[in-house]
Structure 1
């Protein structure tokens, strides 16, 4: 149940209509309150006769409110239609999955809410205006506030145009997604090493649990599942982690020993959805960033500078990861594994970062050189031998691809020089790296 609640919170947080809907509802409520204040007679006559409040007649009031309502809804429809067209073009360059950064952007949601809220407010006030023949009622305070809201919408329009012009810029998109990567790493990493999972032999007598559902695993309530396993004195080995696709009828877990309500407990602790994307999936944000680089390296776009910008952000993410440890997904109790969840290790994370970029940029010397520079920079900070081995493996893959695909001797010489610099950094530190580059 907790996993489903987390998934519902994530869905609401990324839903575009929630904030505009709340602002529209606030506009309706505000109109009802101010109209009631106008009709109560509590406003002093000196305020009603002052220049601060609207003091025209019913005809002018209806014209004013009608103009505000029609203009706000018209501008909202036109501006957002043009914006969707611009985003569609940008999605062709940066990937359609990045459109979610537009839908969850608070500035866009508040802008649309301001227009719709002003439109709803104007309609609710307009229906209360009465002429002399109808009973003579002009809500002066409400009309004045409607004028204020119209000027607020003008300011929001100016803000929105500038905001969207920056949002569809590829550098801005790369920064936004790299910030998602950084937050994911902060949230899903730990400062102390965690115990390794038990050997596979531990699960020899375990019974499998099948799942008839289908979809991406978006949330997994590990703590709730561990508490259930403790109460039942059993152990659970999950076969999927957040971000994996669950196939109908395929096994989703092993339980040792099997207990009666194991299937129901695992279903309650997992929440599936039609799309990959979760606050518990560290690879999802990384793959979004990689997609920008891969599209930039496609023959139709051919923008290696954007790919280099992505590579820099990925290197920064690895530098942030230096003092932290990736979770092993194991929950122990009194020396017994209670829950074991597949987890992303350092090898898999670095593979997700660089494999596709290297494969698609294998004919671009600038991209390969930048990958080697980034790997070298990370190696200056990384002290874990196993992680340095992973970085060295990727440096070797870059050198191998360059030897097969780079035709220019000069470019190939530069790549080999950078690789020697990486090796020197690994063996002798930053001074050795400088000496290796200077000796060429």
Structure 2
């Protein structure tokens, strides 16, 4: 049976992991590391100069400088780096403004998490601070002078590196605000969430052989249970599953979660049920709440829906009348279809978690393929039904996903999505040629589903979506 100290350690590990995600997605963390490094180097370098001045100048005479030259050099570099830092902040704010208005505020997480921007800010601030600190060690008193030759040379070297970082930063920003780059970053996050949350592939030996036993034990639970209410309000960012299992094992409980990462919880709303009801205490309820990490926004570490919704938001914004950019929506559909195909080949984790002795301890609510598929396509279907190119691409996306499907219920879910797409499409006033193209795509998909595989070439018009979009726009004009 786990001790309370071990339980606290597991919960603390989950919270530290969530705290690390918050640190690394902020602008301040990496620059702070550069500032700390600059202070350390600025203190150490004059000491190295004082200890090896004669030896160093004999071997590297070209780094020699004077008091009159060292101070202006360091002062100019430090001031220039402060100016460049202001320029970098200005460019970053403009890029954030463009991205938020064009692609949605949820995509800003990818910008604040951007390493190039963080390193650029840290490099410029660190170089400036280094030069100002080293400048204090340049002194001339009573005819004797101390000039940290090597420290000044390091400052010049940092300035040269900063120029290169500035060029890299400008190039990176110009690329980062482009839709394909943003979607690539969002797709990378979505694939990472799938690999974390659905590690087992369909057909592989399960890592939790006790799932069926846990399901049987869940059916034997009594009707009477105790309710655990949330002690805070916000979005669930993570759940310490192992900590909850150990908590349940320590007190001989069974815990069933009503919420999962990504869900919103209000204060005093029910988040879990506990059996036996008479064993729940205020202390246990507090520890259970501590194992549920709640914050002001959703994060993708345990919430696959967060990454899906971010990409869907980009597609829906692109389809709005104010933007009217079906090509960006098509790019979103392509990325989503690739990730959903990846998910279709993964085993959904069991909702029933047992301890080492096979006793049911936790009933969770893992996301399923059917739920993720609907979340990814529903809004795009609704807002894209007036666009032939988008609707045809949705059919092509379902066909791509079908290639990875190995379960009958997944095929049925794909067929339901196809029925909804063509139903929504036919509600609009499309030209006969567009209706024929859409019907052809639908029939090809249903035939592939009926055959149980998709080894046929895509129907004409589904692969060349850009051509379909162009012809549709020319026809409407």
TM-score, normalised by the number of residues in structure 2? 0.87
Q: Structure 1 residues 37, 117: closer, same or farther in 2, change over 3 A?
A: same
Residue in structure 2 matching 1:202, options 213, 221, 230: 221
Matches within 5 A, 1:5-16: 5-16=16-27
Aligned to 2:403: 380
**Equivalent in 305, 316, 325 of residue 303 of structure 1:** 325
Partner of 1:285: 307
SS in 1 for 2:146: coil
Query: Counterpart of 2:413?
Result: 390
Deviations 1:30-59 (A, max 9, x none): 1111101112345416437711x1x23212
Find the partner of 2:43 among 11, 24, 32. Answer: 32
Q: 1:250 aligns with which of 269, 284, 295?
A: 269
Between stretches 295-304 and 33-42, larger displacement belongs to 33-42
Which of 227, 240, 253 is the matching residue for 1:221?
A: 240
Q: Look up the SS of the partner of 1:397 in the other structure.
A: helix
Q: Which runs of 5+ in 1 are unaligned?
A: none
Pick from 114, 117, 122 the counterpart of residue 113 of structure 1: 122
Match for residue 44 of structure 1 among 51, 55, 59: 55
The 2-side partners of 1:349 and 1:415 are apart by 24
Q: 1:120-131 alignment to 2 at 5 Å?
A: 120-131=129-140
Secondary structure of 2:32 counterpart: helix
- 1:269-310 CA-to-partner distances (Å, cap 9, x unmatched) read 111111111401111111111111111111111110111111
Residues 384-420 of structure 1 show CA distances to partners (whole Å, capped at 9, x for unaligned) of: 0000101110000011001101421111111111000
Q: Distance in 1 between matches of 2:368 and 2:154?
A: 57
Partner of 1:412: 435
Q: How many residues align?
A: 436
> What runs of 5+ residues in structure 2 fail to find an aligned partner?
1-10, 462-477
Is 1:167 aligned to 2:163, yes or no? no
1:335-384 Cα deviation digits (max 9, x unpaired): 64310111211111101110011111011111000000110122133120
Q: Is 2:245–2:353's contact at 8 Å kept on the other side of the alignment? A: yes
Aligned equivalent of 1:77: 86
| Equivalent residue runs for 1:129-140 within 5 Å | 129-131=138-140, 133=142, 135-140=144-149
SS at match of 1:131: strand
Return closer, same or farther for 1:431/1:388 CA change in 2, 3 Å cut-off. closer
Where 1:136 maps in the other structure, the secondary structure is strand
> What is the aligned-residue RMSD (CA, Å)?
2.1
Which segment drifts farther, 93-102 or 175-184?
Answer: 93-102
The structural deviation recorded for 1:128 is 1.2
SS in 2 for 1:202: coil
Residues 365 and 406, structure 1, Cα contact 8 Å, conserved in 2? no
Out of 71, 84, 101, the residue aligned to residue 110 of structure 2 is: 101
In structure 2, the CA distance between the partners of 1:204 and 1:239, relative to structure 1 (3 Å rule), is same
Answer yes or no: is 1:151 the counterpart of 2:174. Answer: no
2:19 is equivalent to residue 19 of structure 1: no
Structure 1 position 15, deviation (Å): 1.9
Return the alpha-carbon distance in structure 1 between the equivalents of residues 373 and 122 of structure 2.
41
Give 1:231's aligned residue. 250
* More off after superposition, 365-374 vs 75-84: 75-84
Whether the 8 Å contact between 2:402 and 2:454 is mirrored in structure 1 is: no
Contact 1:4-1:270 at 8 Å conserved across structures:
no
Cα deviation 1:183-210 (Å, max 9, x = unaligned): 1100100325663756677352111111
Partners of 1:406 and 1:412 within 8 A in 2: no
1:316 maps onto 2:363 in alignment: no
